[in-house]
Amino acid sequence: MVADDGYTLYVNGMPVGAGTTWQVAQKYTVNLAPAPNVLFAVKATNGGTGNNPAGLVAAIEITMADCNCASGAFLLTDGSWKFNTGTPVGFELPGFDDSSWPAATVEGAYGMSPWGTVTVTEVSGPINAIAGGSVVNSTATAA
């Protein structure tokens, strides 16, 4: 995961990682408790001055505890994600109502200008902020 200029990643309301530069993406492994709903939320900030481009790129792979690849999922940042220019209280929590938020705008494919490709670093883990069953790997490999 990477954002121009920085981000905090939340899983089911728990902060699990952050990045502070758009040139280096982070890869996380997070242990999750079995739950009916898994929520990924990101607070991204664009620290530039004036009107300048910003973006978020993530690829999220969910592997079930039984290692049955057929029961997993793969999510990419795309136009189905939603955004808000503010930071509403509780946005990172399961059950938050984002139905009034607009869809994210897809600016282009991963690797496009002005960002190009990024370096991916492994964050030591797994992160046990949430105890339990499955694994989430987040990398910047697609837009």
Neighbours of 111 (CB within 10 A): 12
Helix intervals (H) in 8-79 = none
Residue 101 confidence (pLDDT): 95
Let me know how long the chain is. Answer: 143
pLDDT band (50, 70, 90) for residue 140: very low
Select the more confidently predicted residue: 73 or 113.
Answer: 113
The neighbouring-strand residues paired with 44 are: 7
Q: CB under 8 Å to 114, separation ≥6 — which residues?
A: 53
Give, in order, the Cα–Cα distances in Å from 97 to each of 15, 48, 105: 19, 29, 20
- State the residue range of the domain holding 26: 2-139
Count of CB atoms situated within 10 Å of the CB of 54: 15
CATH number at residue 74: 2.60.120.260
130, 30 contact by CB (below 8 A): yes
Residue 129 has pLDDT above 80, yes or no: no
Pairing of strands 24-32, 55-57: unpaired
Q: Which residue has the tokens 């997993």?
A: 72
Strand 73-76 to 2-4 pairing:
unpaired
pLDDT in tens, 41-79: 999 998 877 888 888 998 887 776 666 555 667 788 999
pTM above 0.85, yes or no: no
The domain total for the chain is: 1
